[in-house]
Amino acid sequence: MYKFLVLKILDSSSISLPSTQIYGRVEFRSSKSDSQFETEILKQSAFNNRSNFDAYSICARIATIVEANNIDEAVNIADNIFSEILDLKSVEFAISSFKISDIGFIKNLDSGIIEPIILNEFRPSISFVVWQGNIQRKDFTNQILSLNNELSKRYQRSLHWSRNSKHESSIQLQTLFYWFAVEALVKESENDNIGGVIRWFLGFPNGKNRHDVSTQVLNNLNKHPRYDYWNKEIIDLVEKIRTFRNDSIHSGFRSTDFSKKELKLYNQIMVFSASRCQAAVATALISGINTVSEFKEYIPTIFEANENIINDVHGNIIYSLNEIKNAF
């Protein structure tokens, strides 16, 4: 175990402090407390995070000392500690944004090495659309807008939640929004458990309709050495996410109540679940299916109609879940 000093800058619309304030294990620091070397490290972190350091230069810093085995673990522990204090202080500054930015540094107090905090995860970027001529072709968006049925309306509500999730910085809210996106698609009543549908489109057919899928497809799915493991594990994980959803809403659970591994695993499962369920509903809409109940009747047919299902389950879903499982 090593001792790390973790420091992050608050959001650009947060607060600016004249001096240091201490709350338990946490320090709120003035921007004037940065040494010249620390300022350069923070600029490196901002550059890596595609942020303009000048926009954060006068914002308060938040810091704490933690014991951890590595940098990632230290940052995760520190974020949880920060969260509790930020919740309490946010009441005093209602017009300000009390959240931490991605800009910061971490210092190993045993070795003295200081490093900028950088993000290695995927982030959105600009997309370039290729010119397709002067006459606009009718695409899927036009097709959806021309429909006026239960399933098309559900599809649009689902996309709304997914888009909100992509712009949400909190991994807990991201996960919840993706769950809402699937609920908007296929949940028919308060007592309707959508776990079975989620498992279908993650690549794990279940229930009595499993027998409607061809033996060849089922055998090909089973060829992955970890398929049986995840087939059993997904049942428990989806139920935990459903509980996570209910506890977050009804019991006020926070991201600090869950480990980083749990949150990343839940989030990845829901990213796959929402996108695959939406793709299945899109296929149903193109095929003339109008209601969610009718959609559920054709789940095996829609599932098997996906020619890329084996590669997607093996090369994307199982691969990604294995990576998260093995990373901690």
How many alpha carbons fall within 13 Å on the CB side of residue 3? 6
Strand, coil or helix: 154: helix
The pLDDT value given to residue 121:
66
Of the pLDDT bands very low, low, confident and very high (cuts 50, 70, 90), residue 61 is: very high
* pLDDT, tens only, 77-129: 898 899 889 988 998 988 898 889 999 999 999 999 999 998 766 666 778 88
Question: Encoding tokens for residue 191?
Answer: 């007592």
Does residue 217 sit within a domain? yes
Residues 146, 104, single domain; the answer is no
Residues 173, 112, single domain; the answer is no
Does residue 281 sit within a domain? yes
Residues 217, 79, single domain; the answer is no
Does residue 62 sit within a domain? yes
Contacts of residue 80, defined as CB under 8 A and 6 or more positions apart, other chains included, come to: 255, 256
Q: What whole-number distance in Å separates Cα of residue 59 and Cα of residue 56?
A: 5
Of the pLDDT bands very low, low, confident and very high (cuts 50, 70, 90), residue 308 is: very high
Does residue 127 sit within a domain? no
Does residue 72 sit within a domain? yes
- Residue where one domain finishes, among candidates 116, 150, 171: 116
Residues 318, 172, single domain; the answer is yes
The pLDDT value given to residue 255:
59
Residues 205, 258, single domain; the answer is yes
Judged on CB neighbours under 10 Å (0-12, 13-18, 19+), 95 is: exposed
Tell me the β-bridge partners of 28: 21, 62
Residues 286, 145, single domain; the answer is yes
Residues 288, 153, single domain; the answer is yes
Give the DSSP letter string of 226-252: THHHHHHHHHHHHHHHHHHHHHHHHS-
Residues 166, 301, single domain; the answer is yes
Contacts of residue 303, defined as CB under 8 A and 6 or more positions apart, other chains included, come to: 200, 201, 205, 213, 280, 309
Does residue 37 sit within a domain? yes
Domain total in the chain = 2
Average of pLDDT values for 226-248?
A: 94
Residues 26, 148, single domain; the answer is no
The pLDDT value given to residue 38:
95
Is pLDDT of 297 > 90?
Answer: yes
Question: Encoding tokens for residue 302?
Answer: 């829609």
Q: What's the pTM?
A: 0.80
Of the pLDDT bands very low, low, confident and very high (cuts 50, 70, 90), residue 152 is: very high
Residues 197, 261, single domain; the answer is yes
Residues 160, 76, single domain; the answer is no
Query: Residue 108 sits in which domain range?
Result: 2-116
Q: What whole-number distance in Å separates Cα of residue 76 and Cα of residue 92?
A: 26
Inter-CA distances, 165 with 38, 170, 171, 279, Å:
33, 9, 9, 17
Is pLDDT of 270 > 80?
Answer: yes
At residue 177, φ and ψ (nearest 5 deg) are -65, -40
Does residue 126 sit within a domain? no
Does residue 128 sit within a domain? no
